[in-house]
Structure 1
Amino acid sequence: MTAFVQNLLVQMQTRFQTMSENIISKIDEMGTRIDELEMSINDLKAEIGADGMTPTKVNDEEPKAADSSS
């Protein structure tokens, strides 16, 4: 019985270790992809700046209607 429990614990530990390594690997991969995305965004921003284009600010206010009471 003790050998069975020890074997079960070893199997669980092995599975946990494998899952932990997979999670860490995925997190590292996501970090790399985020870094690449950030570089792409910076490249696009630089390209837009080089073209002389300036981003326009969106005005949330609705245009006021002309006063027609005259």
Structure 2
Amino acid sequence: MADVSSDYIASSTVFASDGNNSANAATSSDPKNVQDLTNYVQLILQQMQDKFQEMSDKITGRMDEMAKRIDDLEKNIATIMTDAGLDNIE
């Protein structure tokens, strides 16, 4: 994947970000041979993987934060129950 040319990066960025002119972008960035097609597909797949990883990292971070907040809430409830003398009730 290291052989992806900068013009494919630029054309794929235009193609991905410009929904209204997608036909023009598609014709201007059409690969001309098998190697170009391979590089183009690898670039698109890498971009998809990067987006997926970014979303996955965000979700994991949010889950970790939520777990921390739940732990804090449980500690606060336990403290309140102890202060109220309800800690031995089951």
User: Which consecutive segments of 4 or more residues in structure 1 shift more than 6 A?
Assistant: none
Match of 1:23 among 56, 66, 88: 56
Trace 1:1-70 onto structure 2 (pairs within 5 A).
1-56=34-89
State the structure with bigger RCO (CA 8 A, min sep 6), 1 or 2. Answer: 2
- Aligned partner of residue 52 in structure 1, secondary structure: coil
Structure 1 position 56, deviation (Å): 4.0
Q: Distance in 2 between matches of 1:54 and 1:20?
A: 44
Structure 1 position 54, deviation (Å): 2.8
Give ranges in structure 1 of 5+ residues lacking alignment. Answer: 58-70
Structure 1 position 53, deviation (Å): 1.4
Q: Distance in 2 between matches of 1:23 and 1:36?
A: 20
Q: Distance in 2 between matches of 1:8 and 1:28?
A: 30
TM-score between the two structures when normalised by the length of structure 1: 0.76
CA-atom RMSD in angstroms: 1.0
Aligned-residue sequence identity (percent) comes to 7
